[in-house]
Amino acid sequence: PAAGRRRSLNLDSTVPTLTATCPRNRAAQPPKPIRCNITTTGPPLIWTAVVYDRRSLFLMISALIERRHSKLRHCRIPAIFDQSLYNAHVRGRIVLIEDEKDIVELVRYNLRKEAFELESFGRGRDGLEHLRRRGADLVLLDILLPDLDGFEICRKLRSDERLASTPVIFLTAKGEEFDRVLGLELGADDYIVKPFSPRELVARIKAVLRRKERVTEAAGRIEAPGFSIDPAKQEVIVRGKAVELSALEFKLLQFLASHPMRVFSREQLLDEVWGRDRFVTPRTVDVHIRRVREKVEEVPDQPRFLRTVRGTGYRFVPTPADEL
């Protein structure tokens, strides 16, 4: 706040008002701390803290919320403390399917502190449709939802070829042994019972993502005579030489090489590589295939790896060693 001015932020009409006061100081002097008080209009509850910037003020509110004070645990974080405080680097994109808004805001805040991006949905069908279109690095899933229950959503994810490997963590009030066992048997990677610790939730998310990375690094390498792809290094080696590809070219080549000899139409490649939220025409695939051929094929007009199936689409052919 400006020097000598008092500012109040109403977090909720029924919970405390945050008041921050900054003493007057001259421009030549170093900035002085902001004295912050959090008070309630009902029973006199007052906390005082000294902070030096808005980020410290934001973290102070978080600490109070994490302690689950009865007057603070359901308050909303003011928008003034939002995007500008987070690191621009995103560690991963997480989808939360949860119908309790208080839980959504608590999870969103704690994940944003760790540079995760969160997209939330209050209905199971909406979340499932979003995942089919956009995918995610990890899914947080409640069980008691207004339409589809979380168990059914987990079944659908595990039966979808594109989403089967997406990590799933149940975040639910159903804590009976039967429910925990059922969730894990359906393919969930972890099961967290409400009420939960935000710190523990973040730690478990990181642990699941680390396991996923190790599995990808171990099983993701693709090799054929004179040809190899290393997804962990984003590296393509052809005839012993490294090939420089754009991110989209790499993704297209990796997808085709992961399904050797299988023919994919242009529409299928657009869905699998570009995603269903796209604004490109099927001919875009032809342009990118031509660019990849120019970089990986010895004679682009007579391709050995990326071959055209006339009237259908494209496929990757692992070239026999005697053809090289």
Please state the rounded mean pLDDT for residues 164-185: 91
| Amino acid letter, 171 | L
pLDDT at position 234 = 82
Q: Is it the case that residue 11 has pLDDT exceeding 60?
A: no
Q: For the full predicted model, state whether its pTM sits above 0.75.
A: no
Q: By mean pLDDT, which of 29-38, 54-63, 277-286, 304-313 is the weakest?
A: 29-38
* Better-predicted residue by pLDDT, 59 or 47: 59
Do residues 150 and 77 make contact, with C-beta atoms less than 8 angstroms apart? no
pLDDT at position 315 = 92
Do residues 120 and 104 make contact, with C-beta atoms less than 8 angstroms apart? yes
Q: Is it the case that residue 24 has pLDDT exceeding 70?
A: no
Do residues 138 and 167 make contact, with C-beta atoms less than 8 angstroms apart? yes
| Average pLDDT of the chain to the nearest whole number | 75
3-state secondary structure 38-100: EECCCCCCEEEEEECCHHHHHHHHHHHHHCCCCCCCCCCCCHHHCHHHCCCCCCEEEEEECCC
For the stretch 120-148, pLDDT in tens is: 999 999 999 999 988 889 999 999 999 99
pLDDT at position 25 = 40
What is the CB neighbour count within 10 angstroms for residue 241?
7
Please state the rounded mean pLDDT for residues 66-78: 41
pLDDT at position 59 = 56
Do residues 60 and 77 make contact, with C-beta atoms less than 8 angstroms apart? no
pLDDT at position 305 = 92
